[in-house]
Amino acid sequence: MANFDTGIFPTWCGGCGDFGIWAALKAAIKQLNWESHQFVIVYDIGCSGNMASFLRVYAFHGLHGRAIPAATGIKLANHSQKVIVIGGDGGLLSEGLTHFVAAARANMAITVILHNNQVYGLTTGQSSPTSLKGTKGKATPLGVVEQPLEPCGFALLSGATYVARAFAGTIPDTTKIFVDALTHRGFALVEVLQPCVTYNKLNTYDWFRQRVKPLSTTPTNVYEAIAKAAWTDQDIFTGVFKRDEAALPYHLNFEILKEKTLIQYQEKRDLTKYIISQK
């Protein structure tokens, strides 16, 4: 079995939800029997992205907010590779929101694991797009005025073909959802509720344990899914809100990608026909 350890022990704060996600991801990849050269992980910038140093795989640790475009480029260049995006609510939903929507709309075949801790951790505690209204951050000491953005509902409205939520506090359940998401053939979002033990004193493990409940049945349509995905004061459902395997992944819409990957096109190209047409 492949060993995915780099030998570097994570630098996350003790008790950080990222440990649970890291463990679940490794377990899922092992369960799927993937070799370390058969997939790429694209990391956004933030605490979640620091996972780059803790997994011995082909990795792209790019710019804050821009993991999804890089993942898109990798997938289109060589669609035989599985492509996973690791990012946070800050990078993926604030600077990267346009890319998030574009990839979901396109049904780009990438798996986005969104570490949602509702705070900017690595930059020491500013509010994020998913911070609850009223949250006081270092840059919003008077409290957040905005409504929080709901990643699952937003993804569903953007046409994502796979949308799920997991809780970093329950590694076996998270592993199960990762395995499911990683075998989806189109765009997949897994929002992982990831308590930040240092900068988010509200949405703690205990706070989540009181609210997190497994979804009992898969919603039958997108509006039901959006309704089920919405956080309420009492319930935050985990599980799969939508899985549509019929939808064609982006790259399969192109004839030239049906036989070969893009990077397999290496032949010399004859421009004569075009040149003659311009004479």
Residues that bind other proteins (CB under 8 A): 6, 8, 35-40, 42, 45, 50, 52-53, 56-63, 66, 68-74, 76-78, 80-81, 98-99, 101-102, 254-257, 262-263, 265-272, 274-275, 278-279
**Rg of the chain (C-alpha set):** 20
| Residue placing its CB nearer to other proteins in the complex, 12 or 39 | 39
CA 52 to chain centre: 14
CA 7 to chain centre: 25
Q: What are phi and psi of 228, to 5 degrees?
A: -70, -30
| Residue placing its CB nearer to other proteins in the complex, 1 or 271 | 271
User: What whole-number distance in Å separates Cα of residue 20 and Cα of residue 9?
Assistant: 14
Strands 58-61 and 82-88: unpaired
Which single residue is written with the structure tokens 């795989």? 57
Other beta carbons less than 10 A from residue 113's beta carbon:
29
| Residue placing its CB nearer to other proteins in the complex, 233 or 255 | 255
Q: What are phi and psi of 209, to 5 degrees?
A: -60, -30
Q: CB of residue 2 vs other proteins: minimum separation in angstroms?
A: 10
| Residue placing its CB nearer to other proteins in the complex, 77 or 230 | 77
Q: CB of residue 86 vs other proteins: minimum separation in angstroms?
A: 12
Q: CB of residue 129 vs other proteins: minimum separation in angstroms?
A: 18
Q: Residue 62 has what DSSP assignment?
A: -
Q: CB of residue 29 vs other proteins: minimum separation in angstroms?
A: 13
Q: CB of residue 149 vs other proteins: minimum separation in angstroms?
A: 18
Q: CB of residue 82 vs other proteins: minimum separation in angstroms?
A: 10
| Residue placing its CB nearer to other proteins in the complex, 57 or 177 | 57
| Residue placing its CB nearer to other proteins in the complex, 55 or 168 | 55
* Alpha helices (H) along the chain: 17-31, 67-77, 89-90, 97-106, 151-157, 171-182, 205-211, 222-229, 256-259, 272-277
CA 113 to chain centre: 2
Q: CB of residue 201 vs other proteins: minimum separation in angstroms?
A: 28
Hey, what are 233's tokens?
């004061």
| Residue placing its CB nearer to other proteins in the complex, 186 or 219 | 186
